[in-house]
Structure 1
Amino acid sequence: MSTDSPDDEHTIIQEPRLWRDERWTATVIKNEDDDGWAVAMTLAGEAEPALVGPWTMGRDKKNPKPLDAAAFNTLVKTASEVLRRHEQQLHAQLHKSLKVDTPDGRLEVLLDIVPDEDNPYALLSARDEHGEQIAQVRVPASFRLSESSASTWVENEFRRP
């Protein structure tokens, strides 16, 4: 009889090779590439680990060092940083902006890519010095935002490029 329930995923565990809190699970695993050990850090609800790294051998030089609170906290901090950097990189790829000087003042031109699986596209928009959106058009996701393309779009009275 199985007693697994959806809440089991959030059960706190503190074992030598498995350590879990409300958000993260650290699992010490055999390193397939050599005789050593690795640790995988997985965020609750995710299928793939956010971080996999080498793990220290124990005193017997055969088995892994047991997980403990200090090691787990360090691993959580490292894995969280990896996720944060990944999110920043993704945001930078999907959202770009630059400033364009016009006779009417400085505009901020933004390109926001919408990574739809079936039909990706981007929104090209312009905001005035007060942050008010003054134009927006849909463009291909492959549109390249540059000072030249932004200036041309502004000079063409925000018509679709």
Structure 2
Amino acid sequence: MLRGIYPGSFDPVTFGHVDVITRSAGKVDELIVGVLNNKAKSPLFSAEERVRMLEEITKEMPNVRIFPFEGLLVDFARKMKADLVIRGLRAITDFEYELQMAQTNHKLEPELETVFLTTSLEYSYLSSSTVKEVAAFGGDISRFVPEIVADRIAEKMKKKESVD
């Protein structure tokens, strides 16, 4: 059984992420989507909120499971008994960073392989940071994220406005 991990912060989940999840799920027997809880950052959504959104988005994908994690990816991969890490690449700048991470992970855990999927052209410009910026200025993000995510971002922005 081939088990892959697609790790990320997914803050928020974009159509680019969904594309990589869908394509990856078709290549492995089981896909673990690892939602990174990075204590050094202040995300828009908590890890639990991101997990719940991803569970809703992937509910029709029977071989996809969503888990939060902290710490080193290799430790999470070991815990999940994963065979490979799947990473999406949008541009050459992504490749430089991802290659360094893959090589570091391979040094830490030689049995863990990393595979790269290039982003579908229609999502190559898209990032979670861009989505948050557009949303912060009241722009339409419906072409960037699933409806459930757009609704949750709108709720977050309304709460933020009422506090300001």
TM class, shorter-length: under 0.3
TM-score, normalising length from structure 1? 0.21
Flag the structure with more relative contact order, 1 or 2, with Cα contacts below 8 A and sequence separation at least 6. Answer: 2
Higher helix share: 2
TM-score, normalising length from structure 2? 0.21
Higher strand share: 1
